[in-house]
Structure 1
Amino acid sequence: MATNKDAFRDYLQLEKKYSVHTVTAYCNDITSFELFNAAHFDQSNAEQVNYNQIRSWIVSLVDAGVSNTSVNRKMASLKAFYKFLLKTKQIQISPLLKHKALKTQKLLQIPFSEKEVVDVLGMVQSAGDFEGIRNKLIIDLFYTTGIRRAELIGLKIANVDLSNSTVKVLGKRNKERILPILPVIKQQFLFYLKERASLLFIEDWDYLFLTKKGLKLNDSFVYRLINSYFSAVSEKVKKSPHILRHTFATHLLNNGADLNSVKELLGHSSLASTQIYTHSSLSELKSVYKEAHPRGRK
């Protein structure tokens, strides 16, 4: 018999078009809450709880050392669940109606410098085998297109159109966008595809990027790849695929790209999402302004 949680999972996947990763995270949060309720209140049905029970869970999470950011994410999962129950008339009022998110400190995400990117690409250039060629293309594709990690992993051979120098990306909520690729990246694609075709065994044939065993890449593989290379040239705290995407946007803005164009390339639904990348550009702008203005040189 299907449960409300099963229906919620279908709703997220089929109607909201959320990724498998996001749907799993939401449902895992709800399951964790149900387990907490069963242990502390002898009640496993999340549909019948009150806010005091939710608050008890929040306190237990904080006491266990879970960050405010992670707690807020779990609350977002619960909020989405109760919103669904309201929509399907399973409940009359959400127990999270008056809940306020915990305060979090916004951490500045510092992009890589142009030199750091060049140094990494120079480092990986020396490896001319399948993995080296693949890794260089992955790093350069992140840096020159701003593609998300999940989008890169999900790229298929059919998504690459070298005759038009474009790749088709399936973004959040299954929104497609076409990204241009530079001539140097097109050449790297040709090198990689040649090496890829020489693999002895390929299981996930449709997917563009593979391990040397012919399998589709996963999230942790791509994270480790980026973190490993950039750890060799950068002392920045965060070294991830998302920081490379952040670097792409920042460098474009620093070199005169308009915000709306960057928004389209990143696949953002609103300019507000893109504006978080402007802080570094503002820093660059201040430096140029100070050097260029007669009063700034005094």
Structure 2
Amino acid sequence: MTQAPLSPPSNRPSEGSAHRAVADFLDHVRHERGLSRETVRAYRTDLERLLAFARDKVQRDRDVRVEDFTDELLHGYVMSLHQRLAKTSQARALSTCRSFFNFLVDRGDLPLNPLRAVSSPKLPSTVPGFLNVDDMVRFLDQLERNAKAPGAPWTHARDWALMETLYSTGLRVGELVRLDRHSVDPVRGLVRTLGKGSKERVVPIGSKALEALRRYLTSRDRTVRRGDAQALFVNTRGGRLTDRSVRRILKARLQQAGLWQPLSPHGLRHSFATHLLSSGADLRSIQEMLGHASLSTTQRYTKVHLDQLMSVYDEAHPRSRKR
């Protein structure tokens, strides 16, 4: 679907136009901060909601201007978010607006960020979904058997390599689908990827994932003669896989393996981190591999780990609470 233009179609936004400021901000985060298309699209949605609210509050015969973002207008906007959106969506919308206003302050359009004193809603701490080690091994073994079955289509090998790579590296799904063939160094066992903010990092990849990749690429090169030759993971037409395609493949393969719990590709990333922590890896190393800017983001896996320990204790210790 074609995106609606940010500026009014009838004339060019005037100097000080909020529409022009939003367009400048989106250009800034896309080209200078290197944010992903998905993040820029989310920013656009949040800021179009802000502009729509402001249009209802200012004179209808003129464009919304930057100076229209007063404390009073933004107080009403925050209240409208509270009434219409879930807490997670409220928090994201406010974060986007803060970033936008900080951008305007930095370039001298506003003296202060008008949302500086507004706090985001407190979000509940959630334990990320993941597979335990036994279920993960069962899942990947099933994919391997499918890939190695006589006469199996090349997509079976692709799906095995896809899931092995996700679990072996802990990549975000967006990072995974952007990988090129040369991103993988099979000799050194490393994958080079661009994370959030176009920050490059190098992560290890295991021997089983490399085996799956070799089988997949050999099968693909025999079968697929068209499409994106550089992309690591492709669809049946030879085009680069999308985030949505990976989610669909994961759901189908989980069900085929008899694992019906809802799990996103990010759940394999959570499984990667949780299993490393359970096996004694330190948080700093996990933070580096996941590409987290802050250690506090990685520390949520300690709660998952402690929950697992408590469950084992309650089931096994003769003087546990359950006994």
Task: Look up the SS of the partner of 2:299 in the other structure.
Answer: helix
Do the aligned partners of residues 294 and 117 (structure 1) sit closer, same or farther apart at CA in structure 2, a change above 3 Å counting?
closer
1:38 equivalent in structure 2: 55
Number of residue equivalences: 296
Is residue 242 of structure 1 aligned with residue 266 of structure 2?
yes
1:118 equivalent in structure 2: 137
Do the aligned partners of residues 252 and 138 (structure 1) sit closer, same or farther apart at CA in structure 2, a change above 3 Å counting?
same
Do the aligned partners of residues 235 and 186 (structure 1) sit closer, same or farther apart at CA in structure 2, a change above 3 Å counting?
closer
Task: Look up the SS of the partner of 2:201 in the other structure.
Answer: strand
1:18 equivalent in structure 2: 35
- Compute the TM-score of the two structures, normalised by the length of structure 2: 0.82
Give the conservation status (yes or no) of the 8 Å contact 1:199–1:212.
no
Matched ranges for 1:217-256 at <5 A: 217-231=241-255, 233-236=258-261, 238-256=262-280
Give the conservation status (yes or no) of the 8 Å contact 2:58–2:64.
no
The Cα of 1:15 is off from its aligned counterpart by: 2.9
Is residue 135 of structure 1 aligned with residue 170 of structure 2?
no
Is residue 102 of structure 1 aligned with residue 121 of structure 2?
yes
2:187 equivalent in structure 1: 163
Give the conservation status (yes or no) of the 8 Å contact 2:276–2:286.
yes
CA–CA distance in 2 between the matches of 1:187 and 1:200? 20
Is residue 28 of structure 1 aligned with residue 45 of structure 2?
yes
Give the conservation status (yes or no) of the 8 Å contact 2:129–2:263.
no
Give the conservation status (yes or no) of the 8 Å contact 1:199–1:214.
no
CA–CA distance in 1 between the matches of 2:153 and 2:110? 59
Give the conservation status (yes or no) of the 8 Å contact 2:87–2:123.
yes
Do the aligned partners of residues 235 and 38 (structure 1) sit closer, same or farther apart at CA in structure 2, a change above 3 Å counting?
same
Is residue 49 of structure 1 aligned with residue 66 of structure 2?
no
CA–CA distance in 2 between the matches of 1:290 and 1:59? 45
Do the aligned partners of residues 62 and 201 (structure 1) sit closer, same or farther apart at CA in structure 2, a change above 3 Å counting?
farther
The Cα of 1:235 is off from its aligned counterpart by: 5.0
Give the partner amino acid of 1:77. T
The Cα of 1:201 is off from its aligned counterpart by: 4.1
Give the conservation status (yes or no) of the 8 Å contact 1:137–1:189.
yes
The Cα of 1:74 is off from its aligned counterpart by: 0.9
- Compute the TM-score of the two structures, normalised by the length of structure 1: 0.89
Deviations 1:67-109 (A, max 9, x none): 1110110111111010000000001122212111123222222
Task: Look up the SS of the partner of 1:198 in the other structure.
Answer: helix
CA–CA distance in 2 between the matches of 1:115 and 1:178? 28
Give the conservation status (yes or no) of the 8 Å contact 1:50–1:95.
yes
Give the partner amino acid of 2:33. K
CA–CA distance in 1 between the matches of 2:98 and 2:116? 9
Give the partner amino acid of 1:34. L
The Cα of 1:244 is off from its aligned counterpart by: 0.9
Query: Gaps spanning 5+ residues in structure 1: where?
Result: none
Give the conservation status (yes or no) of the 8 Å contact 1:231–1:239.
no
CA–CA distance in 2 between the matches of 1:296 and 1:107? 25
The Cα of 1:39 is off from its aligned counterpart by: 3.3
Give the partner amino acid of 2:71. Y
CA–CA distance in 2 between the matches of 1:97 and 1:255? 42
TM-align CA RMSD: 2.6
Percent of counterpart pairs with the same letter?
A: 31
CA–CA distance in 2 between the matches of 1:227 and 1:291? 31
The Cα of 1:215 is off from its aligned counterpart by: 0.7
Task: Look up the SS of the partner of 1:28 in the other structure.
Answer: helix
CA–CA distance in 1 between the matches of 2:103 and 2:196? 20
1:83 equivalent in structure 2: 102
The Cα of 1:62 is off from its aligned counterpart by: 4.0
Give the partner amino acid of 2:54. N
Give the partner amino acid of 2:301. Y
Give the partner amino acid of 1:215. G
Do the aligned partners of residues 292 and 245 (structure 1) sit closer, same or farther apart at CA in structure 2, a change above 3 Å counting?
same
Give the partner amino acid of 1:87. D
